[in-house]
Amino acid sequence: MPIIKAHFLKRPPARILLIAMRFLGDALLATPLIHSLKQAFPEAKIDILIYRNTAGMFEGNPDIERIITTPNRPKLRDYLTLIPRIFRRYDLALAVQAGDRPFIYSLIAAPCRAGVVPPKGAAGWWKRYLLNGYAEHDNEHTHTVLQNLKLADALRIPRSHALIPPHSGSVKSFLLSPEYAVLHPYPQWAYKQWTTEGWLDIGRYLRRQGLRLVLSGGPGEEEIAYLDALQSKLPEDTVNLAGQVTLAELADIIARAKCFVGPDTGITHLAAATGIPVVALFGPTNPVKWAPWPYGYRQDRNPFEKSGNRQVNNVYLIQGEGDCVPCDLEGCERHRSSRSECLCRLPARRVIEAIRQVLR
């Protein structure tokens, strides 16, 4: 349960800082809390403090006044630049991660503070005593969206469950016709990766159904090389967007697709937020905590259970093969470059059947 120390907001805050310093998916999953704040305090100016490489996830978000960025691994000069920009500039600061840096930034930024904190007995459990309100981090039983929204409860404001995807307002015209499906084959970490053969099989299946293929991917050299190799084995009219569009442009492209298939990665969260049919391929990761948030889902309970394939609204979640799923570890070799046998054994026929289901 969220903890409130009396009611620390004596008046509506005029300036709010929300601190969300992690990966792309985590950034997007903070938008329901941001929207809750804007709905409750429509006159407030809401700034966000995030890692530089996640800024694109907030492009075009009408709830946000200003985006403040910091490197993932800041140096002394970065701290010296950032601290004067936020020092006591806000009435309220919220940190949605339990780490040390978000916590310290919230102390610096505002006299009133709320945040996610480590559970009792864990390192850093004492942070709660320096906050006006808090919610304990739960890595197993609570979806990230719902955990963030516990901070809305701490503020005694209504919850808004809707994710707000980025929006650019410009779409590559050649993708508007004919109809297409978007595949995102390359996750950030290798232990979340499905097989090349599986991607080829579902790509060819989708093309036989009359859908043009669009491959999405980031600007990394390895990712571009992987998608180039994949494209060379797919139908000639396959479009490869790796490194070619911004996150907001990609969101607009995905929003016009007939369906999306992707692994456990930030772009799959983004696709789910657009409302189109999504097939999400999960291996070691606990879907209770990290499943894509289904479009239009407004319940205060987790949309997915720990095991078992299930469709909720626009999201069909498929888990890998094996009794160990989900182990919630970094692959079979316990590191981010590891393989995951549960995903290696996931047959294309199961994914194709899920595609059939979401396209009905």
**Per-residue confidence at 6, pLDDT binned at 50, 70, 90?**
very low
- Residue among 159, 163, 145, 148 nearest 275 (CA): 163
Average pLDDT of span 57-68: 97
Assign 3-class secondary structure to 127-143: HHHHCCEEEECCCCCCC
E strands of 172-303, at which residues?
180-183, 212-215, 239-240, 259-263, 278-282
Q: For the chain, which residues make up each domain, given as ranges? A: 3-154, 173-359
Describe the strand order of the beta sheet including 278-282 as a list of residue ranges: 239-240, 212-215, 180-183, 259-263, 278-282, 315-319, 310-312
Task: Read off the pTM.
Answer: 0.94
**Is there a shared CATH topology between the 3-154 domain and the 173-359 domain?**
yes
Vertex 129: Cα angle to 123 and 134 (nearest 5): 85
**Tokens in use for 40?**
């409750």
Phi and psi for 118 in degrees, rounded to 5?
-65, 150
Superfamily of domain 173-359: Glycogen Phosphorylase B; (3.40.50.2000)
Please tell me the CATH code under which domain 3-154 is placed: 3.40.50.2000
- Residue among 6, 96, 118 nearest 48 (CA): 96
Compute and round to an integer the Cα radius of gyration of the chain.
21
Q: What is the pLDDT of residues 199-253, one digit of tens each?
A: 999 999 999 999 999 999 999 999 999 999 999 999 999 999 999 999 999 999 9
Contact between 8 and 156 under an 8 Å Cβ cutoff? The reply is no
